[in-house]
Each structure stands twice: as structure tokens, then as C-alpha cells.
Amino acid sequence: MRLHELDDAWVVSEDGKKLGHVHEVHAKDGAVTTIVYGAAGFFQRMGSKRGGKRVAWKDVKAVTADGIVIRRK
């Protein structure tokens, strides 16, 4: 999988609730560390200081055809 394939993917909770689209993917040393999603994530991408919702890659349960499934905290 390539990073650009995560861009605009749905972020989905374990119970199937769509939480928003991925707007940024942060990586370090070639490994994904964090994804930023939701409407505020879009504005952050456009240069606003607002922060989007973030989830650490370690909290991603699966990447499926329906989106990125994250663990509930």
C-alpha cells in the first residue's frame, strides 16, 4: 500500500460509524505514525491552525475496502 491510497479514505469506528475522511498522513522514517481526519483536518491541510481529529497508527485495527477501521478508546 502507498500513502496516497490512504488520502481521502473513510475513517470508520469498529462499530461501523463513519467518522470522516483522511486529510493528512504523517510518517517518520518511512512508517505511518498518525492520520488526521474530519472537517477540521481539511482546514488544517489548507493552512489553518485548527487541528483535525488525530489517531495514532497503532490504533488502526484494519484497512479495508470500506475505510480505515480504528479502535474505540
Which residues span the domain enclosing 43? 3-70
- Specify the CATH number for the domain of residue 36: 2.30.30.240
Closest CA to 24 of 3, 1, 49: 3
- Which three cell numbers, joined as nine digits, stand for 54? 488525530
Count of structural domains within the chain: 1
Provide DSSP, the chain: --GGGTTTPEEEETTS-EEEEEEEEEEETTEEEEEEESHHHHHHHTT-S---EEEEGGGEEEEETTEEEE---
Joined grid coordinates for residue 66: 470500506
Distance of CA 56 to the CA centre of its chain: 9
For 20-51, how does the pLDDT look when each residue is reduced to its tens digit (9 = 90+)?
999 888 889 989 999 988 865 555 555 555 56
Look at residue 52 and tell me whether its pLDDT is greater than 80.
Answer: no
pLDDT single digits (tens) 11-23:
999 998 999 999 8
Q: How confident is the model at residue 8 (pLDDT cuts 50, 70, 90)?
A: confident
Average pLDDT over residues 2-19: 87
Look at residue 55 in the predicted model and tell me its pLDDT. Answer: 92
